[in-house]
Each structure stands twice: as C-alpha cells, then as structure tokens.
Structure 1
Amino acid sequence: MGGAGASAAGRGVADGSRVAQGQPGAEPGTAAAGSDAGASPAGRGAAEGPRAAQDLHGREAATGGSAGLDRGGAAGGEDREHPPGVRHLAGRWPETFDDIAAVVDRVPRLVRELGLDGVDAERVVLAGHSAGGHAALWAAARHRLPPHARWHLPAPPRVSGVVALAPIADLTAARALRVCSDAVDQLLGDRLAARLPLADPAALLPTGVPTVLVQGGTDVDVPPQVADSFAVAGAVAGQPPRVVRIADVGHFPLIDPATAAARTVADEIARLTAGSSPS
C-alpha cells in the first residue's frame, strides 16, 4: 500500500507530513489521511499529537520496545526502532491512533492560526486511501467508542462526511483476506481481540456521518470484498454507505490525479461539501 491521500483539487490535503486547508477563497476543506499502512496521518503535521507520540515511542524504545511506526527517520543517527534488518510494521498500537485523533482535532485551530479566512473549518471532508481510508473512517467514528477509550469524543466530529478510497474499512474482512501481508495483525499487535472493537470502523457503525466508499473493481491490494463487508455492516446498522464501484480500476488510479478515477473522487468530495451540513 502507498501513495498520498486524495482530496478534491484546490480544496486542501493532509498527506502525512502536513495538514493544509486549501487556498484562501476555497470553500470546503479536506483533511486527507495518508495511505501507507499505519502511516500516521498526523505524521509530523500536528503540534501536540506528534510530540505525545514521540514521547510514547521514546519510552518504549528506551525499554527495549519492538520495531514500529516509522517516524520519518531519526535526525543525527540511526532510528532505534528501525535498526538494519528489522521488518517495519504496519503502524502500531496505540500511537497510530493517537496521531489520527491529533491531526483531525488540530484542523480547526490550524485554520484559525494560519489565517485561512476563505476556508470553512466546519465543512471538512475526511478522505484517505487504503490504510488512510481506514484512518478517515475511524476518525469519523470516535464518538462511537466507549467513554473510557482514550480517543472517545462526546459527539460526532463536525465534518461534512468521509470519502474513503479503497479503504481497509472492515478489519475482520481484511484479516480473513490477509490484506497487505497481514497488516491488521501488525497494527493491532498481540492483544488483537481486545483492540479490534476499538479499531474497526465496521464495528463502530452507525456513525451518523455521511460516508462514501470509492472502490476499484479490480483492486488486488485491498479487494472489493473489504468495502462490501463494510457496506453490509452499515446496512445492518441502519446507515448504508454510498459505494462507488469503478470497473477495471485497481488500487492506485484512485490517487493518480491524471485519471478519471481521481476525478470521480474529487466529485464525491465536492458533493459532500456542497450538499451536507456538518454532523
């Protein structure tokens, strides 16, 4: 899995190293979660989130913790969590989720601090590709987490919706298909049974947040069955998502701005910001 998160052209992008909310004069904003498995959408873009994550990383590394989320390399020396020959994992618990929550919570303040007067911080669409699609769906579902969960929100996020591109939307289905070399198991670690209900967007339905899945019909990286399973869960929960299936399209054309598939993604983002009020 890989590639940058998708957003409507001219509406803004958060790509794992920054969060931007379009250009002055743009109406809606799009916070796009990155697409690398477990790559933190907050990455290095949010102020308090990355510091907290790095503190957690540092403490675990100091006590001999396992290899985990790549923070982009350690300045001035070898990254202790990624020594030569150690396999990089597809994110890790709980730091990946700390970062997702931090970046989404940070967007409204970023808009104010950067003086983006033409951007409406309450007309944001969360968008992401592949594992970034999982991140976007999960970020929109945090109010469905139990109150004791560290990422719980008391109310739905003030977003216009979610557009998830070839998302790892149903973690149970993705595990059964061994998507991306068992990325779900890598992300959740050795307490998978306890963590799965807190991490799986399909288990957190209904969210009340307008949700669109854009899926390539010939995707072999994240097969359509994963999106289909999420759609079934949504229907059972009383919130069937809009599913846009694009025939003869694989995993990556959805994030290639030169393709018709990417234009479809942009259209879906525009439709949500134009037609939906914040949840």
Structure 2
Amino acid sequence: MAIAVSIAVTACITDARAKPVPTPHPPTAMTDQASLASLASLPSQDPVFYDREYNNRANVPDNPAHMARWGEWSAQVRERGGFVADLVYADAGSRHPQDETLDYFPATAPADDGAAPPLLVFVHGGYYRALDKRDHSFVASVLPALGVSVAVVNYSLVPSVTVPDIVRQVLRGVAWLYRQSGELRHDPQRLFAAGHSVGGHLVAMLMAARWPQLAPDLPADLVKGGLSVSGLYDMEPLRRAAFLQCDLRLSEDDVARLSPAYMAPATAAPLSLAVGELEAAEYHRQHALMRAAWPANVRSPAASDLVLPGCHHFNVLDGFGEADSPLVRAVLRLTGA
C-alpha cells in the first residue's frame, strides 16, 4: 500500500508554475485568471520578508497563552468521555506507525431520519513540525452534539519525515476512515475535511488527490468538501523562510508538487476558506490566491468564504467552541448536518 500511496500523491499533483488552473465557468474566467496571475506573483525577493510574515509565534507574542488554552479546552472535551483515542490508521507499509493515529468523537445527536452522521476529519497545524492531535480535541467541543462526528488526525513531524511523507500519511488516514465507516458508524458518503494553517494545506491536498489511483475501492469524490482555516496553498514562501526551511527542507520540486493553488481540484466539491482579520498579509494573499485558483469550489452554494473579525492566527480557531459561530455554521453548511 505504501507504494500505491506514493503513486497516488504524485499523480494528483500538477507542475506548480507550468500548468494553468482549470478554466472557471464564464463570466468570471478572465477575472479569475487575472487575479490568479497577480496573486501568484511573490511580493518580495527578500527572505527576511517571509521570515517575518510567516512567523506566527513572533507576530502573536502571547501565543503560549492561546496554545495553553487549547490544551485546557481539549482536556475538558476528553474528560467528557464518549470518544475513542489512538485508533491506528497505519498499514503494513507504514514507516512511522506510532504516529499514524487519530482520536474519534462520534456524533451524539441522532439524525431525525436515523441516518448515519457525516464525519469531519480535522488536521492540525504547527508548520509540520509541532503540535499534536491532543492539542486539538477542542474542535469536537460542540460538533458531535450538532450531529457531526469528528476525527482528529495525528501525523509524523519534520525533520524526522518530509512534507511529502506527511501528505501520504494524511491520505492514508482519510482512506482508513472511509473504509471503517461501518464500524465507526459515520456516513462514508459524507466525509469532509477541515484543517488549520498547514492543516489547511493538507485539506486542499486531500481535495486534489486522485483517490482511485491510491486504491480501486476509493471513489474519486471521497472527500465531499473541505474547510481550510488560515491555510497555505503556495509552498514557495515557506521554502524561502529560513526559520522554516531548516526543518522543512523543501526543494523546488517539492514546491511544484505540493502547492494546491497550482493544481486542479479532483472534483467540484465545496471548499470553504477562512482567515483571521489580524493575520499577516501573506495569509490574506494565500487565502485570495486559493479563491482565485479554485473558483468553482469556493463559490459552491455549500461553501463559505470568511474573514473572521478580530482574529489572529491562534484565536481564529475559537469559534469551534461556539455552536453559532461562523466556523461552526460553515461546517454545518458544508456537511448538511
């Protein structure tokens, strides 16, 4: 299976700056292509610019307090019980099976018609080198009570693995959840993904994946929609940021194969985008870039395009704790729950 995963990842990626994005439906095609060309142009050739723009911990000095709050909030969610911890999604070819685990929070509100609930797979951020699923149990604060099951996925961290390795792991985890739908009792036809920061990048990669090339039992539209919060869709700025590149070790070829803004989406599934009002300008550029790159997905009736007032890179996730927040409403709109 490990070989198949590698093939599927390679096959789902187009050459980053050599191929155009899919042509959107008129009358927006010319506008989107012009916007994409403008947004794809990097704003600076100075590496210091990217160090400054992408260093979220430096840009939000009280970030330790926010991450401590994530931990406390997540502990409270786990103390409620009713979830399954550390399910292993690794297969026989996995090189880091100890990292390939997930926590599963089943929906607690049954549907009126008795149908199986949708599943939201959440992928955490941390620039591929930090954080853990246990820091993000809070994503399941209110969604299970609203009829949405939640799986929070772990993956290995750089520099012990590469970013392409992490993409393969998350693909493997989502495929496992699709196959385990009967045992876990979610609807395999309503599997959605959400993520924060580089987790948002991984959501877009899931939506660009050619699933049948991973395995013949996986449908092309396996992921029915995504929510990317503060996501990253062009990897070139990360390659230029020295404080990240020391661990990420991205090559130019990696950037070409791992930038979803320059790939065709696998399907027309809705993609919801969110970014904090107070985030760095580069995060707003990345947000606008993806809007221009995948216009049909972002403009889907089930999708949301959000700029969250008063939010920076860390408190942008606070809405997952409020049933009537824009983030939770976006999830419910996406999943139809």
TM normalised by structure 1 equals 0.62
**Is 2:97 aligned against 1:37?**
no
1:199 maps to amino acid = L
Corresponding residue of 2:178:
108
**Is 2:216 aligned against 1:132?**
no
Tell me the distance in 2 between the aligned counterparts of 1:186 and 1:43. Answer: 20
Tell me the distance in 1 between the aligned counterparts of 2:181 and 2:272. Answer: 25
Greater Cα shift, 25-34 or 128-137: 25-34
What is the CA-CA distance between 1:169 and the residue it aligns to? 2.3
The structure with the largest alpha-carbon Rg is: 2
Higher relative contact order (CA 8 A, sep 6+): 2
Corresponding residue of 2:260:
201
> CA-to-partner distance for each residue in 1:126-169, whole Å, 9 max, x for gaps?
00001111111111111299x7xx79998533232000010112
What is the CA-CA distance between 1:34 and the residue it aligns to? 1.5
2:285 maps to amino acid = Q
Aligned partner (choices 199, 203, 223) of residue 283 of structure 2? 223
Tell me the distance in 1 between the aligned counterparts of 2:280 and 2:85. Answer: 26
Corresponding residue of 2:312:
250
**Is 2:228 aligned against 1:164?**
yes
2:314 maps to amino acid = F
Corresponding residue of 1:18:
102
Matches within 5 A, 1:1-279: 17-20=101-104, 22-23=106-107, 25-26=109-110, 27-38=117-128, 69-70=156-157, 89=159, 92-114=162-184, 116=185, 119-143=186-210, 156-172=220-236, 174-175=237-238, 178=241, 181-182=243-244, 186-187=247-248, 189=250, 192-207=251-266, 208-220=268-280, 223-235=283-295, 239-241=297-299, 242-257=304-319, 263-274=325-336
Tell me the distance in 2 between the aligned counterparts of 1:122 and 1:244. Answer: 26
TM normalised by structure 2 equals 0.52
> Number of paired residues?
219
Tell me the distance in 1 between the aligned counterparts of 2:248 and 2:277. Answer: 26
SS in 2 for 1:272: helix
CA RMSD of aligned residues (A): 4.3
CA spacing shift, 1:248–1:19, aligned 2, 3 Å: same
SS in 1 for 2:231: coil
Tell me the distance in 2 between the aligned counterparts of 1:159 and 1:239. Answer: 13
